[in-house]
């Protein structure tokens, strides 16, 4: 397994404390609420929105339908199971965006890549995307309470994250 070190988390963005990560697709700007593709921590695409600008090939793998035999005794109706395979992230690359951290605007499939292209797309499961969206909601709530209730900064040396709250919730066991 390859690990990516980005230096950022969903609760502490790459910029200041007021940074609100994008929740939508980097291509179509619509909400991403299922398995998807990411670059870095915050840039995410629907699997169908990663498109080669030369030939139009997409990273999306079509659904696969299977018919399974009835699972219950006495049931005569076959069950249809629809599965989607992970997107083809290894078959797409992009030219590194300027400035770094921004979503890439030019995506290529491997046969049409340029010499400057890099492969850094990662597949994201539906569960991982749900966890990401939950973290973004928590970040939004944190920013709201910090600005509307004059809470100290989480990055200060003597503040909310480094002492006051943590000491009061520590277990004495």
Minimum mean pLDDT range among 14-23, 105-114, 156-165? 156-165
Collapse the DSSP code of 163 into the 3-class scheme (helix H, G, I; strand E, B; otherwise coil) and give the result. helix
Whether the per-residue pLDDT at 135 is higher than 80: the answer is yes
Q: Residue 149: pLDDT above 90? A: no
Mean pLDDT to the nearest integer, 120-128: 92
pLDDT at 62: 77
Fill in the DSSP letter of residue 55: T
Where in the chain are the domains?
36-60+87-161
Distance between CA atoms of 82 and 105, rounded to whole angstroms? Answer: 32
- Phi, psi dihedral angles at 79 (to 5 degrees): -100, 130
pTM: 0.69
CB 21 within 8 A of CB 132: no
pLDDT digits (tens, 9 = 90+) for 27-79: 999 999 888 999 888 899 999 999 999 999 999 887 766 666 666 666 666 67
Greater model confidence, 80 or 138? 138
């Amino acid at each position: 397994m390859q690990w990516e070190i980005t230096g950022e988390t969903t609760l502490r963005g790459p910029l200041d404390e007021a940074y609100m990560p994008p929740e939508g697709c980097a291509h179509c700007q619509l909400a991403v609420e299922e398995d998807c593709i990411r670059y870095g921590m915050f840039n995410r695409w629907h699997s169908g929105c990663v498109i080669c600008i030369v030939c139009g090939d997409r990273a999306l793998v079509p659904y696969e339908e299977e018919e399974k035999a009835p699972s219950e005794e006495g049931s005569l109706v076959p069950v249809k199971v629809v599965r989607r395979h992970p997107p083809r992230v290894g078959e797409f690359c992009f030219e590194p965006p300027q400035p770094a951290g921004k979503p890439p605007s030019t995506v290529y499939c491997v046969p049409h890549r340029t010499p400057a292209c890099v492969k850094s797309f990662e597949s994201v499961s539906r569960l991982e995307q749900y966890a990401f969206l939950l973290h973004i909601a928590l970040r939004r709530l944190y920013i709201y309470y910090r600005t509307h209730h004059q809470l100290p900064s989480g990055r200060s040396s003597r503040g909310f994250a480094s002492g006051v709250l943590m000491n009061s919730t520590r277990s004495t066991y």
